[in-house]
Structure 1
Amino acid sequence: MSTRTLYLFSSAAPPVFDVAKVVEAAQADGWDVCLGLTPTAARWVSESLDGLAALTGHPVRWEYKLPGQPDAWPKADAILFAPATFNTINAWALGLTHNFVVGVVAEAIGKGIPIVTMPCVNAAYVQHPQFEQSVATLRGAGVSVLYGEGGFVPNQPGRGNPAAYPWQAALDEVNSLVPLP
């Protein structure tokens, strides 16, 4: 039986198509997984949403609930946000909670919930000065950002290999932050 709850959040980047395998790997590590997506990521995997909900045992979410509605998920023990796009990293660091998953992680910083994120951005995007500032802001807020050596290393535009995305490094980091009881 799972004793820890992991919110697994993903943005619209090619590694999102492997999210079912990541859910299964996290479940094998003893996590009860709740899957949240950016609206674009939800559109990308729309044909798999029912299967992903069945796999996790929870509704897949990409929208805020209405005021007064009960929460459909248990409380998170940790959050893994991967892949996190250029837009997501910058919006989160700037506190722009225009979508459900960014709103949850922004609030989670204040709640003290352990958070791991791993970007998925190309080398052209990371040249924008805001990106490094955003990574520094999130790290300064206590978020474990797996970017650079030991995490995600940007590729040249159009030359990414989604199969090489280091999902296991992200899962290992979450497991180190919230070990099994």
Structure 2
Amino acid sequence: MTEVASKPFLYVVVCASGIAEDISKLITAAQERGWEVGVVATPLALRFFDTGTVETLTGRPIRSAWRTPGETRPFPAPDAIVVAPATFNTVNKWAAGLADTLALGTLCEAYGLGVPIAALPCVSEALAAHPAYRASLERLGGMGVRFGEPYAGGTDKKGGRPDFGWERALDLLTPLR
């Protein structure tokens, strides 16, 4: 049995990156724009953010592993998906159609279901230069994935981390709502 959401339902797919510690900013911004939110994290991403805070914000468990047969779906079907931060590994596996984690399986399946997807890449400049990554962005873009400007991380002129701009993902979905 699948739950039905009272508001549009957004899946937030979180990948393993230091910036993921601020994922609550995206969740809060999405809720302020009228979305219900469920988080699907890559297994390694669970180490990068406060899972208790995220579960409190969403009122739902974080999904990271496949359901067992007969287990009910903890989230309704998504109306849209945001991938943030979208890492080098996830982007390349997703473009190749690999579904070795729940997060990747969800993204691969979403294409066939016609679910709109926005992604905010978080990839170093050195990795972004790799030809496989560029080809993956092109393939996913051809599948309708909307990408925000890349974020390379690092530090700004004052030694702090530049703003990731979580809301950009929601802006990418706005024309689709």
Instruction: Flag whether TM exceeds 0.5 (same fold).
Output: yes
1:77-103 deviation per Cα after TM superposition (whole angstroms, max 9, x unaligned): 000001010000000000111111111
- Aligned twin of 1:8: 12
Which 4+ residue blocks in structure 1 deviate beyond 4 angstroms?
Answer: 158-163
1:20-75 deviation per Cα after TM superposition (whole angstroms, max 9, x unaligned): 12111110000000011111111222xx2122112101111111111221101011
Count residues with an aligned counterpart: 170
- Aligned twin of 2:175: 176
- Aligned twin of 2:55: 53
Letter in 2 for 1:154: A
Distance 1:38 1:80 in 2: 14
Equivalent residues in 2 for 1:1-181 (5 A)?
A: 3-45=7-49, 48-146=50-148, 151-154=149-152, 158-159=154-155, 162-178=161-177
Q: State the TM-score, normalized to the length of structure 2.
A: 0.89
For the Cα contact (< 8 Å) 1:9–1:35, is it kept in 2?
yes
Distance 2:37 2:168 in 1: 17
Question: What secondary structure, in the 3-state scheme, does the structure 1 residue paired with 2:125 have?
Answer: coil
Question: What secondary structure, in the 3-state scheme, does the structure 1 residue paired with 2:83 have?
Answer: strand
User: Percent same amino acid among aligned pairs?
Assistant: 37
Gap regions ≥5 residues in structure 2: none
For the Cα contact (< 8 Å) 1:14–1:162, is it kept in 2?
no
For the Cα contact (< 8 Å) 2:42–2:101, is it kept in 1?
yes
Distance 1:15 1:162 in 2: 9
Cα displacement (A) at 1:175: 2.5
For the Cα contact (< 8 Å) 1:2–1:30, is it kept in 2?
no
Cα displacement (A) at 1:2: 5.5
Q: State the TM-score, normalized to the length of structure 1.
A: 0.87
